[in-house]
Amino acid sequence: MMLGVLLASSSVLMSCSDDDDGMMGAVPVNSVVATSSTVDVVWSIVPNDNCAGYIVSLLQGSRDGAVIETKEFDNRTCKGQFTGLQPNTEYCIKTQAKPGAGFNSADVYYREFTTSPIIDVNIVSYDAYNVNGYDSDGNPTVTKYYTINMDWPAIAESNCGGYYVAVFNCKKADWKANAAKTGQVTISKDDHGVIATSASIKGLEPGKTYTIGAYARPNSMCDYTQGDWSLTEITTPQ
């Protein structure tokens, strides 16, 4: 019985064609998680010593694209990372086992993906408005505020499910994702299936420095979990 188990485990992921009994099967890619400049790749591991390791390549565009970089891994490693990628760009991962004892070649596996986009926010205008109130002595006051109007280029829906835009109460150098915000907007498809590419946020004080933070939100087709932050520092008019 033990001999049968060992034989069964040693044949996992090892396929032989009718033409070549020394051909190893392909090594499937289980997941890719991209940012605007990196990709983390996880592939299926071959659980025996018939595999001498893995060859993983990053290709430009599709499986027919030029090889950008190739990395080799030992047979106990099932993940790797590539860096230096461009935002909102198509790439392809190619995996292949390194043949061990009893094998002379191996099938290849391809997994195409797209890096996350960067949102380029444009300041359209500032609209001033007044808010009436009272001071601590009960005297009437008028306080000036601004509404900021923004837009940005649309990202194709194949790589974007919406947008998030916020105005943070800090300079860009002091920015953190959990910093206090004046306002925020989360954008998805509206009732007509349209994803807006503009937003307005009110409540900004005159002559104050803020940071606009924005990122793309993925849909089910995307290979990223959240787009990278795009940060823009602004100072409102007096």
pLDDT of residue 100: 86
Say whether 165 sits in a helix, a strand or coil. strand
pLDDT for position 81: 98
Q: Mean pLDDT per segment of 10 residues, for the chain of length 238 residues?
A: 38 45 90 98 89 97 97 96 98 96 91 98 98 95 98 97 98 98 97 96 98 98 97 98
E strand or H helix at 2, and its extent? helix 2-10
How far is it, in rounded angstroms, from Cα 189 to Cα 187? Answer: 7
Q: Is the dihedral of CA 152, 158, 161, 164 positive or negative?
A: negative
146 exposure class (CB count in 10 Å sphere: 0-12, 13-18, 19+) = buried
Sheet holding 209-217, edge to edge: 181-187, 162-168, 209-217, 230-235
Q: Please name every residue paired with 179 in a beta bridge, in sequence order, or none if there are none.
A: none
Q: pLDDT value at position 20?
A: 57
Q: Which tokens go with 110?
A: 């391809």
- Nearest CA-CA partner of 28 in 109, 97, 105, 145: 109
Q: Which residue has the tokens 């047979």?
A: 75
Q: Identify any residues that bridge with 181 across adjacent strands, giving them in sequence order.
A: 168
Task: Judge contact between 206 and 238, C-beta under 8 A.
Answer: yes
Q: What's the mean pLDDT when you consider all of the chain?
A: 92
For residue 126, the model assigns a pLDDT of 98
Contact assessment for residue 65 and residue 92, using Cβ atoms and an 8 Å cutoff: yes
pLDDT reported for residue 4: 44
- Model pTM score: 0.85
| Sheet with 79-83, side-by-side order of all strands | 29-34, 38-43, 79-83
- For residue 34, give every residue at least 6 positions away whose Cβ sits within 8 Å of its Cβ, in sequence order, or none: 40, 85, 113, 114, 115, 116, 223, 224
